[in-house]
Amino acid sequence: MTIIPIAHFRSPLKNKFGIPRQSGLANSLEGVIVLEPDYRHPEALRGIEDFDFLWLIWEFSANKTGETESLPSSSKEHLTVRPPLLGGNKRMGVFATRSPFRPNRLGLSSVRLQRIDWEDAEGPVIYVSGADLMDGTPIYDIKPYLRYVDCHPDARGGFTDTHQWEKLTVLIPEEIRATLNPQDQQTLQELLELDPRPHYQDDPDRIYGFTFNDRDCHFRVRERVAEVLSLGDISKK
């Protein structure tokens, strides 16, 4: 079977570092689903505005080709991965995790539907929040989230039941905060609370950086506090 993108995602996050590790963790993070020309028709979205959440099926397109090619079943080396929630040093079966290094590179995310712009020049386009997709990610399908079959509040969660994310305290200096609108302040706060660093790194002097809304954010983490050091405009480099 050959599948082709039906849409691409637009996000303020331009690279892998800084992307939430799951959808729904940074609820103020907004993005836009732009349909491919063959699907830019209101008929394709008829009735979608009656749903609060959507499922997106997409591709981990930023992974290195050599690490994400379809793997033969005999390749035992690639049948296990090291989830960051377990510190990156314990292996689990790839199908017992949501690791991005998968045989077919497919991701699955539940996102909140915010609104649809029916009049956009590339429209209709879909505005969503809480996505864990980077800018430019190809989307292969969109399905409505159905509460009566998709919600299982009493289900066991494997190793995620015993290992929880420990959020960071975030310090954004007032002079940097003043350059952000309230929405971007909240989003940047949520992204840094999730601790985007590899979990095996804890160097208090190391400076990390990622691109957020075409600005380079640099920060460091000391004693569980993420301090934003600078937020520069990349267009002025």
Beta carbons of 145 and 53 less than 8 angstroms apart: yes
Region 117-133 average pLDDT: 96
Q: Can you give the pLDDT at residue 217?
A: 96
For the entire predicted model, the pTM comes to 0.89
pLDDT at residue 90 in the model:
87
Name the band, by pLDDT with cuts 50, 70 and 90, for residue 125. very high
pLDDT for residue 237: 53
Q: Is the pLDDT of residue 175 over 70?
A: yes
| Confidence at residue 50, expressed as pLDDT on a 0 to 100 scale | 97
- Per-residue model confidence as pLDDT tens digits over 180-225: 999 999 999 999 999 999 877 889 999 999 999 999 999 999 999 9
The domains of the chain, with CATH numbers, are 7-63+105-150 (2.40.30.70), 169-236 (3.30.2310.20)
Output the pLDDT for position 66.
43
**Could you read off the pLDDT of 28-43 as tens digits, one per residue?**
999 999 999 999 999 9
Q: Hey, which bits of the chain come out as E strands?
A: 7-10, 30-35, 53-59, 80-81, 92-93, 106-117, 125-129, 138-144, 169-171, 208-212, 215-222, 225-233
228: β partners? 219
Report whether pLDDT(234) > 70: no
Query: CB atoms < 10 A from the CB of 143, how many?
Result: 13
pLDDT of amino acid 233: 81
**What does the pLDDT read at residue 87?**
77
pLDDT > 60? residue 19: yes
Whether the CB-CB separation of 188 and 213 falls below 8 Å is answered with no
Residues 159-174, mean pLDDT to the nearest whole number: 90
Quick one: pLDDT at residue 72?
Answer: 47
Location of structure tokens 């199908």: 95
Measured between alpha carbons, how far is 73 from 199 in angstroms, rounded to an integer?
Answer: 29
Give the separation between CA 144 and CA 110, rounded to whole angstroms. 9
pLDDT given for residue 88 in this prediction? 75
Distance CA 11, CA 35 (A): 14
pLDDT in tens, 52-61: 999 999 999 8
Q: What is the mean pLDDT of residues 78-84?
A: 86
Instruction: State the average pLDDT for the chain.
Output: 90
